Amino acid sequence: MIDELYYDAIDMLKGMIAIPSVSREEKEVADYIGQLLSSFGLKVNRHGNNLWCTAPEFDTSKPTLLLNSHIDTVKPAQGWTFEPFNPIEENDRIYGLGSNDAGASVVALTAAFRHLCTIDRAYNLILLLSCEEEVSGKNGIESILPLLPEINVAIVGEPTGMQPAIAEKGLMVLDGEITGVSGHAARAEGINAIYRATEVIETLKNMKFEKESALLGPIKITITQIQAGTQHNVIPDMCRIVADVRTTDAYSNEETLSLIWQSIPLDWCKLTPRSVRLNPSGIDASHPIVQRLITLGCRPFGSPTLSDQALMPFPSLKLGPGDSARSHTADEYIRTCEIRSAIHTYISLLTTLRI
């Protein structure tokens, strides 16, 4: 049984790699996956480039488990020695863009779902393969959740080495505008917005929050972009910065933003969030699905990277084959043995699970 599912999964992954599926350009890969799921005898629903299937015998009196991963990729990085859209299998590795993040999770979850559709379960089961994850797009999972039945818990397929990430940092991107007063660089006049910006940057860099997450550690603020000046002899009256803020479950995004605002001089510095919707997320360690994973020898941890978990208003954890360090890199790959092991672990976890 595992062999048949495994070989189908490998073929499915190679087919996905061969179709460019950069975020917001997933139509062709969604077409391919939809046709393949139908060939497996599954009833496929589609909204935009999102696909989902519901396991037979849906019972409203039972809780519902969601299996989710994403079908989009980032753009190819520089430095590929393989062709990113040509799946190459070599020495137990499959090279190709999206092989690790998150094609391997897509195919392993699909394989497990196919098996679970054939057995009695104490819960309802939905498989959702969504788009626009890499850009946190509005047409991805956020557009689908209102169309689904109530979800009680979710497994999100991301490369975690098949160890459960039971907490995940959230994200806020802040656009900063620091104002000064223009003047001639040769004279002692004006107020240099760049100098003011260095004060703000130093404040954000060294900012400490009273509470710290047990699993996720401290909130992390990183300045990632800066822009100022029009020419060499003009004191700049505006400096723009971008701050990447990785939030934790110690505070809501709104609370984190409020504390940041309190730390800066708002009369000449404006920090505006692009969004506060990408929240920290996770699941209680006492949840049956976490406890079942522990009995299988898994070790829960907190993840610093963002996924569609951030948009899920119900308990969730990340669990998938591969290594997060391979994601978004040149010559991205997945080991075939990781896919086989993931299928086995998903099935072992979910066959007798009660939630």
Residue 240 clears pLDDT 80, i.e. is over it: yes
CATH number at residue 242: 3.30.70.360
pLDDT in tens, 289-333: 999 999 999 999 999 999 999 999 999 999 999 999 999 999 999
Answer whether residue 1 shows pLDDT above 80: no
Query: Could you give the dihedral angle defined by the CA atoms of residues 333, 339, 342 and 343, in that order, rounded to the nearest 10 degrees?
Result: 150
Structure tokens at 289: 């699905």
Query: Is 62 found in the same domain as 191?
Result: no
We report the CATH number of the domain holding residue 7 as: 3.40.630.10
| pLDDT on residue 252 | 93
Check pLDDT > 90 for residue 8.
yes
Read off the pLDDT of residues 65-96 as tens digits, 9 standing for 90 and up: 999 999 999 999 999 999 999 999 999 999 99
Residue 282 confidence (pLDDT): 87
Total domains, the chain: 2
Q: What is the CA radius of gyration of the chain?
A: 23
Contact 348, 292 (CB under 8 A): no
7-21 mean pLDDT: 98
Q: Is the peptide bond before 102 cis (omega within 30 degrees of 0)?
A: yes
pLDDT digit string, tens, across residues 128-142: 999 999 999 999 999
User: Residue range 140-146: average pLDDT?
Assistant: 97
Of 273, 305, 332, which residue sits at a domain end?
A: 273
- 153 and 175 co-located in one domain: no
Residue written as tokens 């040149």?
330
Q: Domain range holding 6?
A: 2-168+280-350
The pLDDT of residue 265 is 83
Q: How far apart are CA 284 and CA 287, in angstroms?
A: 6
SS3 113: helix
Q: Are 168 and 303 in contact (CB under 8 A)?
A: yes
Domain boundary among 273, 298, 330: 273
User: Strand, helix or coil at 201?
Assistant: helix
C-alpha atoms less than 13 angstroms from C-alpha of 103 in its C-beta half-sphere:
37
